[in-house]
Structure 1
């Protein structure tokens, strides 16, 4: 069965990754999956709190916060240009 963890080479070096490093990468991926689940739980909570019938203040705070978060994440995820260019 193919798994994403079977390739244990550094693409840039084309050398085998030590077994300990491969395990670290696997553990990091599992940690990332858990953090993504946590993010989804928070988003579900926002959906529940921001449902029809919520106060105007709650809706305004939710919209403002989500808008700011999206703007920040958009900037943070944009590749940076090298200063030498």
Structure 2
């Protein structure tokens, strides 16, 4: 269901710090505040291109880990 933005907890996200390969530096899992059992994940759908964002179970894996740049700057 699509809703208009209303600032409710149903629309808020949280970040959980994770490690990748023993390196805890800036790897995060994005999870909805109201359901921490799921996380934002990428889906590989077209010739090894990670081009679809979806919700899936929350655990640290390559398709669920996100990294911020220095000082939380984006990489772009």
Q: TM-score per shorter chain, which class?
A: under 0.3
> Which is greater in Rg?
1
The TM-score with structure 1 as length reference comes to 0.22
Larger helix proportion of the pair? 1
The TM-score with structure 2 as length reference comes to 0.24
Which one scores higher on RCO, CA 8 angstroms, separation ≥ 6?
2
Larger strand proportion of the pair? 2
